[in-house]
Amino acid sequence: MSNTPGTARRKASDWKVVTVTKDGRGSSKPDFVVTEEPMEIRAEGPGQEPQQISVTMRTPGNDFELAVGFLFTEGMVLQSDDVRTVKYCELVEGQEQKYNIVTVALSRGFDMALARRAMVTSSSCGICGTESIDQLLQATTPVDRESGPVVTAETLMRISESVRKSQPTFDRTGGLHAAALFDANGNISLVREDIGRHNAVDKVIGASVMAKTVPLTKHGLFCSGRLSFEIIQKAVMARIAFIAAVGAPSSLAVETADALGITLVGFLRDGKANVYTHEHRIEM
């Protein structure tokens, strides 16, 4: 299940820009812009034909982790052993290899109702907040109060900078989100970047599924952007009990984290943070 081909794809592209100053002067210089390309995720079970599950706009790299993570957080993959192989679209003689279609072969058949739900989720069809939480509580259970890392306030404050040091493509482009796993001591064990916040989270969770380290009951999740309901949904599927982000959470994200027993921290920057739910995992 190597990511080698996808990892070799360029995450940033060269572009010539004109910089303009407030005094009206302009100058030309080379720059880098983050790469954004579509990727189709397919799944197949024993005796089943590959089915399109989702198409996402992503930054190339760690494509297999993205595909596995998405299927896991949508409930189509339940454990690491469910994944048999992950591969790019089969090479057709005389045609160039396509790196924008990833097929995950599962060790068991999957429910097409889940596949259809994944398509609805990815297309952001609107449903009310109460219905969203109720559906999620039917699919999973709240995390245990004793699970998740317990961190000091001092440790919490340095997590953002630690992740920032592990974002090479962001340094070049300024246009990528990051997701990372941290432990009770603030150590960062895994960082993934993507133009999409949800994709970055899926890559982190997918890497953990492929490494057979889920459930992630001893780790927290850091996100570089804002927190939405979907990110809380993805985290709880991996049994993550602590989520911290540089940005703001939505009202539905806060309500969902509260209902699921997850510690939710927002505005983690400049030596400050807001704790919205279940503050018992932070030593003040």
Catalytic residues: 125
Report the sign of the C-alpha dihedral through residues 245, 250, 173, 19, in that order: negative
Q: Which two tokens stand for residue 137?
A: 């509580």
Q: Which two tokens stand for residue 18?
A: 């004109």
Helix%, strand%, coil% for the chain, nearest 5: 35, 30, 35
Nearest to 189 by CA among 227, 215, 216: 216
Cα–Cα distances in Å, from 52 out to 119, 196, 254?
Answer: 9, 20, 32
255 neighbors 167 (Cβ within 8 angstroms): no
What number of other Cβ atoms are within 10 A of residue 130's Cβ?
10
Amino acid 260 reads L
Strands, E, within 76-174: which ranges?
A: 83-88, 101-106, 151-152
What number of other Cβ atoms are within 10 A of residue 84's Cβ?
14
Number of residues written out for the chain? 284
Distance (Å, whole) CA 50 – CA 44: 4
In the beta sheet, which residues pair with residue 85? Answer: 105
Relative to beta strand 12-20, strand 26-34 is: antiparallel
